Amino acid sequence: MNFTYFAPTKIVFRRGALDKIGEEAKRLGDRALLVTGRTFARKYGYIDKIRALLEKSKVSCTVFSEVEPNPSYETVERGAELARRENVELVIGFGGGSAMDAAKAIAVLALKKGFIRDYIYPYVVKEEVLPIIAVPTTCGTGSEVTRYSVLTDTTSKRKTVVVGPSIIPKVALLDPSVLVHLPPDLTVYTAFDAFSHAIEAYWSNRSQPISDVLAVESMRLIVENLTSAYQGSSSAKEKLFLASLMAGLAINAAGTTMIHALGYPLTVYYNLHHGLANALLTLPSIRHNRRTVKEKLEELAKRLGLSSVDEFVEKIEELLSETGIKKLRDYGVSESDLEFLAKEGVSYSRNLANNPAPVTLSDAVKILSEIL
């Protein structure tokens, strides 16, 4: 056996964890940049709340609330410029994956000159960046504990990633009370993002014993709680929040695979929510990898208390239908687009390198046709 597991984030998970933000920030610096999306944080009063908590701990707060879904290079460069101008000493990402990922990229660029393009993978960020506090508000990305910042290159229309151990947040504050505002569709989409993280980490060529345990438990929590969370149960949403954290810890070690690769073009070209794209691709990806990871999937079914992989597949089918996930064409994709989308999908070689079974262009076309 041979593996490395690195998870340096201080994780605080409890109702009221957000109230600790001043204290945690003060340990990292005196001037913070708060990075959020355009609506949620302001609409529900979180910007004022966080500012007040920071000021109470004598940490000044500059707000950058311009992060769009699937953040662009331009956005993070504007944020970094503000960080440099205000001479901030730490960055706080509050929101879904987009806000946290933008915060990470801003933390890199704030100490540099130049463009974020210069720090995109295969570059690996190992140098010092501004310390990051991540506060997730969805049940999905796990970005609060990962070394990934997923961005969108709007020129080449590609998802790209800033990656490196130094962009792992120093502190993750998971306060389930923020989930009260998360609507049913986003609860489901982000939970399917977490589910894809878990299953992809589990079957990844880079999977390892610790990430496996986290991945299996994450899937168990999602399978057991997704439908109730969709119906509004706050305790079920809290379980999904935990599942998303665990899946984040799993992909941080093992990476993502074909679901993410084939899902990215659906987001970039059709604006499908990242988690929705992954939800649609989950079943055909299980079918595609099934023979290659037969024993592992059997073990998974067993650990989830199911009698067989078939039963596991049925369970996922059930979850998709109970939570209203439809077909690709219902989201505006037409048959004539599939070849192009497949071509784009298989070009995400960073993800596909981790996939247990090879994915050819014709495999990708077949998979997309299945979910059309």
Smallest gap from Cβ 200 to Fe ion, in A, equals 9
Omega before 122 cis (within 30°)? yes
Residue in 193, 217, 238, 344 binding Fe ion, rule: CB under 5 A: 193
Q: How many residues bind Fe ion (CB under 5 A)?
A: 1
Cβ proximity to Fe ion, 199 vs 365, nearer residue: 199
Cβ proximity to Fe ion, 171 vs 201, nearer residue: 201
Cβ proximity to Fe ion, 21 vs 261, nearer residue: 261
Smallest gap from Cβ 166 to Fe ion, in A, equals 21
User: For residues 25 and 59, is the Cβ–Cβ distance under 8 A?
Assistant: yes
Smallest gap from Cβ 136 to Fe ion, in A, equals 13
What angle separates helix 209-230 from helix 234-254, to the nearest 10 degrees? 150
Smallest gap from Cβ 257 to Fe ion, in A, equals 11
Cβ proximity to Fe ion, 193 vs 212, nearer residue: 193
Strand partners, 153: 158
The piece of 53-61, 187-195, 210-218, 312-320 that touches Fe ion (CB under 5 A) is: 187-195
Cβ proximity to Fe ion, 90 vs 276, nearer residue: 276
> CA-CA distance, 254 to 200, in Å (whole number)?
8
Under rule CB under 5 A, residue 24 binds Fe ion: no
Cβ proximity to Fe ion, 24 vs 193, nearer residue: 193
Cβ proximity to Fe ion, 80 vs 98, nearer residue: 98
> Which value, in Å, is the radius of gyration of the alpha carbons in the chain?
20
User: For residues 120 and 162, is the Cβ–Cβ distance under 8 A?
Assistant: yes
Backbone angle region of 16, left / alpha / beta, with phi > 0 → left and psi within -120 to 50 → alpha:
left
Smallest gap from Cβ 140 to Fe ion, in A, equals 7
DSSP H helical ranges for the chain = 21-28, 40-43, 46-56, 73-85, 97-109, 184-203, 209-230, 234-254, 258-270, 274-289, 294-303, 309-322, 338-346, 349-352, 361-370
Smallest gap from Cβ 263 to Fe ion, in A, equals 8
- Cβ-based neighbours of 329, under 8 Å, separated by 6 or more: 335, 372
Smallest gap from Cβ 95 to Fe ion, in A, equals 15
The piece of 189-197, 216-224, 306-314, 352-360 that touches Fe ion (CB under 5 A) is: 189-197
- Cβ-based neighbours of 230, under 8 Å, separated by 6 or more: 184, 187, 188, 322, 323, 324
The piece of 51-59, 186-194, 286-294, 304-312 that touches Fe ion (CB under 5 A) is: 186-194
> CA-CA distance, 288 to 219, in Å (whole number)?
19
User: Which residue ranges make up the site for Fe ion (CB under 5 A)?
Assistant: 193
